Amino acid sequence: MSRSAHPAGPRHADVLPEGHYSAPAADLNALDEKVWSRTVTRDADGALTVGGITVARLAEEFGTPAYFLDESDFRARCRAWADAFGPDADVFYAGKAFLSRAVVRWLTEEGLNLDVCSGGELTTALDAGMPAERIAFHGNNKTVAEIERAVAAGVGRIVLDSFQEIVRVAHIAQRHGVRQRVQIRVTVGVEAHTHEFIATAHEDQKFGIALADGQAAEAVRRALSLDGLDLIGVHSHIGSQIFDMAGFEVSARRVVQLLAEIRDEHGVELPEIDLGGGLGIAYTSDDDPREPHEIAKALSDIVTRECEAAKLRTPRISVEPGRAIVGPTAFTLYEVGTIKPLEGLRTYVSVDGGMSDNIRTALYDAEYSVALVSRTSDAEPMLVRVVGKHCESGDIVVKDAFLPADLAPGDLIAVPATGAYCRSMASNYNHALRPPVVAVRDGEARVIVRRETEEDLLRLDVG
């Protein structure tokens, strides 16, 4: 009954509402390097800086809410993945996490490949100069027009996701007079969750072709029989925000078993396997992600071991990290608008964005952290829920966090680790204007995706 006993005013860590699970950090001003991008620090006045620029200047120049992306961190993460996997493997950045023409250019320069899953992503990639042979095209229901464009552009691989698509891509490739390089996406029966995995016989979801009941083997049979297709390998993606490597190990083992079956039946050793993306990042200080070199070693060890056991040549491995590359490189900057202490519960802090710029909390119950960034404060921690300005009570950005009790309207707060699946899933709900993405590097900031304007809204609304 501590709820009703607590006096009015900011809630303290010793009297938390039911269901609250973590205590405030020892120092609310500290910026945990696990969740903030690499060049983030506080300056002598206590304001957060990224790439050497303070948030006050960024807010003044670009407004809020806005995503600030640490370009040198992004590039460093690309290099870390490429170096970890080495020249005998391929890293495909998953563009669905966040894609823009600047990002495509960085990827091209840093030697990464790109996974796209729609005509829009393909157009962005090609327009910004990603060589087509470095593009993989994904999706469970690619349209005929999308397949036509991908084949005509000469993409390096199309990942086939259904029996219908095997035939569709083969016909289109033949019509273009080419043999399209393809992989078959298989569902390996591993359902991966954060911190755990559950092996299931069948996966009840829309992607891929099941290994079970010989479905994948039949897909391989058909793909090998069609002139328009050059089957180069098998693909598996087991889920997202995964920390435990066990799910990847089971997946790799099952994919290698399939390669052995293909060799036994058809006398061909497919040269490649793709183990997908899904590697987890730290959204809060409680998360403990793996480093790319650990992931690379774990995957290559298991594939090598399984191939030796099956007397197969070790295939070339590829992976498709999206979140693990871009997620930690950006934060969202908001201005505090209103502050509403709810007696016995928590304090609601409303910001100038919300579920339109970060739907992940509402959609997946995702956890985020938040910090006061325009200044430091020695005030007591207060339990807050950071909410947006949308007409919906589920419009929550950070469900459960602590901010200093002297927080005031006009303060700037920032939510780290919003580089992945925030701008790319942003919406115009309530006719919100989607925020810009600003790349910051070495003391310079430039808009790479501009803020939407009301004219943009009216332009689409043709009356």
Binding site for ligand LLP (CB under 6 A): 94, 96-97, 115, 138, 237, 240-241, 276-279, 320-324, 360, 364, 420-421
Burial of 380 (0-12, 13-18, 19+ CB in 10 A): middle
Would you call the peptide bond into 7 cis, given omega within 30 degrees of 0 as the criterion?
no
Instruction: Count other C-beta atoms under 10 Å from residue 88's C-beta.
Output: 10
CA distance 179 to 224: 11
Half-sphere exposure of 40 (CA within 13 A, CB side): 30
- Going from the C-alpha of 122 to that of each of 87, 94, 106, the distances in angstroms are 25, 12, 16
Given a contact cutoff of 8 angstroms between Cβ atoms, the answer to whether 438 and 418 are in contact is no
C-alpha triplet 397, 403, 406: angle, nearest 5°: 125
Closest approach of ligand LLP to the CB of residue 61, in Å:
29
Give the sign of the dihedral formed by CA 88, CA 94, CA 97, CA 98: positive
CA distance 413 to 428: 22
Given a contact cutoff of 8 angstroms between Cβ atoms, the answer to whether 265 and 205 are in contact is no
The residue among 74 and 421 lying less far from ligand LLP, judged by its C-beta, is: 421
3-state secondary structure of 109: helix
367 is known to lie in a ligand binding site = no
The residue among 326 and 407 lying less far from ligand LLP, judged by its C-beta, is: 326
315 is known to lie in a ligand binding site = no
Active site residues: 391
The residue among 71 and 115 lying less far from ligand LLP, judged by its C-beta, is: 115
133 is known to lie in a ligand binding site = no
Closest approach of ligand LLP to the CB of residue 274, in Å:
8
111 is known to lie in a ligand binding site = no
CA distance 223 to 237: 20
Instruction: Count other C-beta atoms under 10 Å from residue 22's C-beta.
Output: 14
Which two tokens mark 348? 């609601």
The residue among 95 and 381 lying less far from ligand LLP, judged by its C-beta, is: 95
The residue among 240 and 329 lying less far from ligand LLP, judged by its C-beta, is: 240
Torsion-angle region of 156 (φ positive above 0: left; ψ -120 to 50: alpha; else: beta):
alpha
Closest approach of ligand LLP to the CB of residue 242, in Å:
8
247 is known to lie in a ligand binding site = no
Burial of 305 (0-12, 13-18, 19+ CB in 10 A): middle
Closest approach of ligand LLP to the CB of residue 324, in Å:
6
343 is known to lie in a ligand binding site = no
320 is known to lie in a ligand binding site = yes
The residue among 189 and 322 lying less far from ligand LLP, judged by its C-beta, is: 322
The residue among 91 and 420 lying less far from ligand LLP, judged by its C-beta, is: 420
What pairing do the DSSP bridges indicate for beta strands 190-193 and 196-199?
Answer: antiparallel
Closest approach of ligand LLP to the CB of residue 90, in Å:
13
451 is known to lie in a ligand binding site = no
Closest approach of ligand LLP to the CB of residue 2, in Å:
35
Return the axis-axis angle of helices 71-85 and 101-110, rounded to nearest 10°: 40
Residues annotated in a binding site: 278, 320-323, 360, 364, 392, 421
Binding annotation for pyridoxal 5'-phosphate: 278, 320-323, 421
| Binding annotation for substrate | 323, 360, 364, 392, 421
